Amino acid sequence: KNEVEQSPQNLTAQEGEFITINCSYSVGISALHWLQQHPGGGIVSLFMLSSGKKKHGRLIATINIQEKHSSLHITASHPRDSAVYICALTQGGSEKLVFGKGTKLTVNP
């Protein structure tokens, strides 16, 4: 069983819709990371969180440590949000990222 499980694997939305991507994990963590990867390969770190909630523009990330669950929300989605969103975790004092399999998001105009 993977240590990091994401759902859904694929998500298609219409522009303007509210989007939620979920991530569950089964191990102790020091932090949970949400990453974005566009076609072409570049990966951008969106959030790193160990408790509570963070917000950047239209993106919101939450984490529930007790339930070992995190969600990434996108409000008022836009076609430029189309990308693969990856949940990853770090443990202890290590920078090693353990990745989920990613969620491919397509936002249609």
The binding site for another protein (CB under 8 A) comprises 30, 33, 35, 41-45, 48, 86, 88, 93-99, 101-102
Rounded CA gap, 64 and 55, in Å? 15
Rounded CA gap, 24 and 22, in Å? 7
Residue number with CB closer to another protein (77 or 89)? 89
Minimum Å distance from CB 99 to another protein? 4
Residue number with CB closer to another protein (62 or 102)? 102
Contact assessment for residue 93 and residue 30, using Cβ atoms and an 8 Å cutoff:
yes
